[in-house]
């Protein structure tokens, strides 16, 4: 399993970053990114601590790739480009934006501004517009198929448009608790439930590996 969207207690997750990473390694994860929620109020506090935790884990575990990241969450869309720049300057090697999920009051325009910015993943983009999917394809920004309850309600819509326009898909857990982490077998079933084939799932893993290579 490759999981590029997870949360520790540095935001709203249940585990220390170190335990989250260790639990992922114990169930056979190939790679994990710690992407706690940040906005203007806390990015300068959270990101350096994620970086520190990932650096420490990398010295202790040699069978899992660990990537420090951040999820830009519930921010003014116009602030996304600046916060992306700031997050990267603090050591976030992977930038996720909290997309316009239908189960939270995300500001309209977040999907579009994220896709115009230097981000890696648009998470749970909800009922994303066709023109935004085309932009994701043009800019090679990955759209997320998510295992997260609620956010996953629009997986089918995301998959349909991504396949229509050739946008890159990845599968993440958006984990907040230990039980949110997935085995590879479970992840495959979630992909199939979203209308994807085994070959599609393999392609998503390759897409995730390409993101990791860029972030390393």
Domain boundaries, given as residue ranges, for the chain: 2-215
Residue 7, token pair as written in the block = 């949360």
Q: With a cut of 90, say whether residue 158 has pLDDT above it.
A: yes
pLDDT grade, residue 204 (50/70/90)? very high
pLDDT digits (tens, 9 = 90+) for 5-15: 999 999 999 99
Q: With a cut of 90, say whether residue 192 has pLDDT above it.
A: yes
Q: Would you state the torsion angle of the CA atoms of residues 32, 38, 43, 45, taken in this order, to the nearest 10 degrees?
A: -80
pLDDT grade, residue 150 (50/70/90)? very high
pTM greater than the 0.75 cutoff: yes
pLDDT > 90 fraction of the chain, expressed in percent and rounded: 98
Q: With a cut of 90, say whether residue 216 has pLDDT above it.
A: no
Give the three-class secondary structure for 118. Answer: coil
Q: Are strands 169-172 and 142-146 parallel, antiparallel or unpaired?
A: parallel
Q: According to CATH, what is the number of the domain 2-215?
A: 3.20.20.140
Pick from 188, 211, 168: nearest CA to 69: 211
d(CA 170, CA 144): 5
Q: With a cut of 90, say whether residue 38 has pLDDT above it.
A: yes
pLDDT attached to residue 65: 97
CB 135 within 8 A of CB 181: no
């Amino acid at each position: 399993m490759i999981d590029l969207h997870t949360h520790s207690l540095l935001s709203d997750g249940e585990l220390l970053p170190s335990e989250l990473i260790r639990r992922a390694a114990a169930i056979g994860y190939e790679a994990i990114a710690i992407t706690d929620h940040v906005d203007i109020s806390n990015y300068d506090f959270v990101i350096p601590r994620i970086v520190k935790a990932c650096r420490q884990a990398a010295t202790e575990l040699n069978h899992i790739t660990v990537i420090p990241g951040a999820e830009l969450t519930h921010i003014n869309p116009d602030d996304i480009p600046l916060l992306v720049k700031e997050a990267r300057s603090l050591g976030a090697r992977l930038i996720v934006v909290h997309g316009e999920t239908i189960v939270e009051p995300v500001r309209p325009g977040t999907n579009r501004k994220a896709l115009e910015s230097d981000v890696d993943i648009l998470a749970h983009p909800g009922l994303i517009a066709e023109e935004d999917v085309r932009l994701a394809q043009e800019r090679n920004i990955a759209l997320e198929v998510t295992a997260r309850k609620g956010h996953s309600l629009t997986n089918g819509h995301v998959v349909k448009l991504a396949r229509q326009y050739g946008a890159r898909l990845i599968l993440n857990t958006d984990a907040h608790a230990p039980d949110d982490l997935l085995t590879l077998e479970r992840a495959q079933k979630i992909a199939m439930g979203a209308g994807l084939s085994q070959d599609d799932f393999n392609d998503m893993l390759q897409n995730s590996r390409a993101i990791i290579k860029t972030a390393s």
